[in-house]
Amino acid sequence: MVRRVVGYCLEPGVARRSLIVAVLVGTLLNLINQGDALFAGRTINWAKVLLTFIVPYCVATYGAVSYRLRHERDLASGEPFLRPHGSSPGRSGGNDA
């Protein structure tokens, strides 16, 4: 299981998309959180800058990997992937009369 998760994390598509998200979201959050210090020439907290890029990268990677693991599980069980959690296979939302 750990090898599959690490393998999914390191796939080029996952890493590239997560990096794009981290750059976009991290830049925006850094401007919001430290923009005043940045534009006024005050001291920047570089640990916060780094974390502000790392957190979106991890969140995007987690989302992609969990999606792939769920898809893999659903394929193995024969269940349709797009059915919402908690709904039963035989239930429909419409009128079956």
Q: Does residue 87 form part of some domain?
A: no
Confidence of residue 89 (pLDDT cuts 50, 70, 90): low
Instruction: Give the residue numbers spanning the domain of 21.
Output: 12-77
Distance in angstroms (rounded) separating the CA atoms of residues 14 and 8 = 7
pLDDT at residue 63, rounded to an integer: 95
**If phi over 0 gives left and psi between -120 and 50 gives alpha, with beta otherwise, what is residue 26?**
alpha
pLDDT at residue 85, rounded to an integer: 59
Confidence of residue 9 (pLDDT cuts 50, 70, 90): very high
Q: Does residue 41 form part of some domain?
A: yes
Token pair for 10: 């390191």
DSSP code at position 82: T
Q: Does residue 84 form part of some domain?
A: no
Mean pLDDT, residues 71-97:
65
Residue 15 parent element (H or E) = helix 12-40
| Structural domain total, the chain | 1
Q: pLDDT, tens digit, for every residue of 20-76?
A: 999 999 999 999 999 998 899 899 999 999 999 999 999 999 999 999 999 888 888
Distance in angstroms (rounded) separating the CA atoms of residues 39 and 20 = 24
